[in-house]
């Protein structure tokens, strides 16, 4: 009498376990034949039709990946569009001879969505390194506060958890505030007093422009010969006329005029060489 290995009961019909599906999600269709066909087609309407069919088949997976990034300041519709773009890139670049499409497409689509956040969603543009620090600090803060009642982690605790220095942690914490920005029309208080952020901004002082201009011409003035520097000083700081300068130096008024023009042009060109072409 045979004993079934699965049930252990005599006479029970022998059963075999169903093979496990290698697909990890319901949105992972079997499109191996379509990809093989796509790889064999040249440019033309038939290739475009097969490509569109593949994109449509895998679009639910792209939408699922986009859903992982919801509630981060971007609408789910825009995230799905970005994920769909990543899916199209994955379909175009996938080689069916190297493995499964899902293993290739998931990191491709995820990377496209992350690039969208990195390149287009920051209100204040920050370097890539600072963005990475922000992400490390944000994840570390979430892990340290995952238990109810956990206190707000200090920079020292975050540094110990991430292996970063406290200076790097503080840079990441500052970047957390750079992802979004307040409108200048935002009210400063909740009582509706009417004061806005714009009311706290001062007016630009025109004296700052003079300071910048003076610093810009310093090097050019030092390079001038002593006589030319003296002429410019008498003309622009002592407010002397060209005729008065000519009488003092024993030169003609025309010669003084020519020296002023060439000296000013030399100083100007020297300043522009440091700051770029004039607007």
Q: What is the spatial distance between Cα 64 and Cα 79, in angstroms, rounded to a whole number?
A: 10
Where do the domains of the chain lie? 32-120, 128-176, 207-275
The two tokens of residue 3 are 């004993």
CATH number of 207-275: 1.10.10.10
| 32-120 and 207-275, same CATH topology | no
> Given this model, what pLDDT does residue 225 score?
92
- Tens of pLDDT, residue by residue over 203-227, are 666 777 777 788 888 888 888 999 9
**Cα three-residue angle 149-152-156, rounded to 5 degrees:** 135
Fold of 32-120: Rna Polymerase Sigma Factor; Chain: A (1.10.1740)
Helix boundaries (H) for 68-198:
76-93, 101-120, 128-144, 155-162, 166-176
Phi, psi values for residue 248, rounded to 5°? -70, -40
36-76 residue pLDDT tens? 888 888 888 898 998 899 999 999 989 999 888 877 767 88
């Amino acid at each position: 009498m045979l004993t079934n290995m699965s049930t252990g009961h005599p006479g029970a019909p022998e059963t075999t376990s169903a093979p496990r599906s290698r697909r990890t999600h319901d949105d992972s269709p079997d499109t191996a034949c379509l990809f093989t066909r796509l790889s064999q087609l040249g440019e033309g309407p038939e290739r475009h039709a097969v490509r569109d069919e593949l994109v449509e088949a895998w679009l639910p997976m792209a939408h699922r990946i986009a859903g992982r990034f919801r509630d981060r300041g971007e609408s789910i519709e825009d995230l799905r569009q970005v994920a769909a773009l990543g899916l199209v890139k994955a379909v175009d670049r996938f080689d069916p001879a190297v493995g499964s499409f899902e293993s290739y497409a998931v990191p491709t689509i995820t990377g496209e969505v992350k690039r969208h956040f990195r390149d287009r969603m920051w209100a204040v543009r920050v370097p890539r390194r600072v963005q990475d620090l922000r992400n490390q600090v944000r994840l570390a803060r979430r892990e340290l506060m995952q238990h109810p009642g956990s206190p707000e982690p200090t920079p020292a605790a975050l540094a110990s958890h991430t292996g970063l220095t406290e200076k790097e942690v503080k840079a990441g914490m500052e970047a957390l505030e750079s992802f979004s920005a307040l409108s200048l029309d935002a009210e400063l208080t909740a009582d509706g007093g009417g004061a806005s952020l714009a009311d706290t901004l001062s007016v630009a002082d025109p004296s700052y422009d003079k300071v910048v201009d003076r610093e810009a011409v310093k090097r050019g003035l030092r390079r001038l010969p002593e006589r030319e520097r003296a002429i410019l000083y008498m003309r622009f700081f002592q407010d002397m006329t060209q005729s008065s300068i000519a009488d003092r130096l024993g030169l003609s008024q025309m010669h003084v005029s020519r020296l002023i023009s060439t000296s000013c042009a030399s100083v100007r060109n020297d300043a522009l060489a440091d700051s770029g072409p004039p607007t």
